[in-house]
Amino acid sequence: MSDTDTTRGVTGEDEVVDLCRELIRIDTSNYGDHSGPGERKAAEYVAEKLAEVGLEPKIFESHPGRASTVARIEGEDPSRPALLIHGHTDVVPANAADWSRDPFSGEVADGCVWGRGAVDMKDMDAMTLAVVRDRLRSGRRPPRDIVLAFLADEESGGTYGAHHLVDHHPDLFEGVTEAISEVGGFSFTVSEQRRLYLIQTAEKGMRWMKLKVAGTAGHGSMIHRDNAITELSEAVARLGRHRFPVRVTKTTRAFLDELGDALGLELDPEDMDAVIARLGGIAKLIGASLSNTANPTQLNAGYKVNVIPGEATAHVDGRFLPGHEEEFLAELDAVLGPKVVREDVHAERAVETSFDGALVDAMRSALYAEDPVAKAIPFLLSAGTDAKSFDDLGIRSFGFVPLRLPPELDFAGMFHGVDERVPVDGLKFGVRVLDRFLDAA
């Protein structure tokens, strides 16, 4: 234990709220370039908290200001494969004028910690720090080695965070076979007798794309039938209104079976609208996992009102289900038409693992010990995480951020949303569950 540690006798539950608040107060907004503050201050904060309890964290800066922190805890049995716990410290930007509270204040109000990153994902960063610090202060080593990674740049694909470490420092993850991180482990209340905890075992692949249409430049006053803006706008409108067919993947089939059992119903995968109608606050999250998606997000053309431009461009956020990438691209091209040229801005494959094994058993037992009506079930995430990078190293990943949530909280709406917040009781619950999980993992 470090001589600088001044928190002897403090438990993880005691300090998790303050850790979360302090992390939120460090603005790590990621604008998709290098114009933001970066993650260096957060990396230094995390490194300090880990060093206080005797670890030797290292900071890796892939670009000025873009930094990640990694540390390793030696387990009782070094012959066992290691476990990776990773979280990102960057957040999406927040417009303070839209919020009812300062998004970087870390204010505690109405039983919640408020601020950008409260659920995505400085809550897990704080819970991980709280559990690790408590265990090391009390001399409780985990059964196996634990690698801790607090990463930069997840919100823009991980180029300067997870990807950088995997590509340039793979030795940091020597012996790691499994990992936990976002997005999963949160509760969905079915009834007083049953609370489901959704564990992420799969996530969609990503295609961020730039669309281009070339036309003939000319004077804005002339009749013009080769207008790049017109052609692109029509293609983007078709894409924005297009509905990709429902595809029930292996993970979604397992989710439906478990949900149906909890509800006492047989859910029909051919009538997913009826299924979604029963899901309340997680309807949006699950609904987006049932098909491929492609949403136009940016348009750009022209430089002067009386000049018809020779080119128009758009950006699209495309997501595809595991095993359906080729189908997605073929359907996308058919909708866009032959005049639209698309190029990848950032591409990541889909990942999926099975919901079984000792690590899953450890999740189940830890949740049940803290919530006797808990049942863990798998689900497919419509977005992406840094798990994609670690998949390159053959690491099996799960989304497991244990949070017991009030039924009325729109948790899915917290991600990248206005007035993002996490319940204080949920953070403390998460600390208890993670502590039990590490004993059994």
Q: Show the domains of the chain with their CATH numbers.
A: 12-181+383-440 (3.40.630.10)
On the question of pLDDT at 1 being above 50, the answer is no
Provide the residue type at 63 as one letter.
H
| pTM strictly above 0.85 | yes
Instruction: Give 422's contacts (C-beta < 8 A, 6+ positions apart).
Output: 20, 112, 113, 118, 119, 123, 403, 414
Handedness of CA 117, 119, 120, 121 (dihedral sign): positive
d(CA 112, CA 421): 6
d(CA 269, CA 287): 12
Helices 122-137 and 424-440: crossing angle, nearest 10°?
A: 50
pLDDT 10s digits, 238-265: 999 999 998 989 998 888 888 878 777 7
Q: What's the N-to-C CA distance of the chain in angstroms?
A: 24
The β-bridge partners of 437 are none
Dihedral of the alpha carbons of 391, 395, 396, 400, in degrees to the nearest 10: -90
Looking at every residue in the chain, the average pLDDT score rounds to: 92
Helices 122-137 and 12-25: crossing angle, nearest 10°?
A: 140
Report phi then psi at 189, rounded to 5: -80, 115
Q: What is residue 286's predicted lDDT score, i.e. its pLDDT? A: 80
The β-bridge partners of 296 are 316
pLDDT 10s digits, 180-191: 998 899 998 888
Burial (CB count <10 Å: 0-12, 13-18, 19+), residue 85: buried
Provide the residue type at 287 as one letter.
G
Nearest to 68 by CA among 147, 134, 177, 179: 147
The β-bridge partners of 195 are 189, 374
On the question of pLDDT at 23 being above 90, the answer is yes
On the question of pLDDT at 7 being above 70, the answer is no
| Eight-state DSSP code of residue 269 | T
Q: What is residue 61's predicted lDDT score, i.e. its pLDDT? A: 97
**Alpha carbon separation from 40 to 27, 28, 66, 329 (Å, rounded):** 10, 8, 6, 37
Nearest to 117 by CA among 430, 433, 402, 417: 417
Q: What is the mean pLDDT of residues 426-440?
A: 97
- Range name among 67-76, 148-157, 201-210, 271-280 with the lowest pLDDT average: 271-280
Q: DSSP alpha helices (H): ranges in 38-180?
A: 40-51, 122-137, 162-168
pLDDT 10s digits, 316-344: 999 999 999 999 999 999 999 999 999 99
Instruction: Give 140's contacts (C-beta < 8 A, 6+ positions apart).
Output: none
On the question of pLDDT at 438 being above 80, the answer is yes
d(CA 329, CA 157): 20
d(CA 232, CA 81): 51
Burial per residue of 118-157, b for 16 or more beta-carbon CB atoms within 10 angstroms, e otherwise: bbbbbbbbbbbbbbbbbbbbeeeebebbbbbbbbbbbbbb
Q: In what order do the strands lie in the sheet with 108-109?
A: 108-109, 112-114, 421-423
Nearest to 275 by CA among 249, 257, 294, 293: 257
Q: DSSP alpha helices (H): ranges in 185-266?
A: 228-241, 250-263
pLDDT 10s digits, 354-394: 999 999 999 999 999 999 999 999 999 988 899 999 999 99
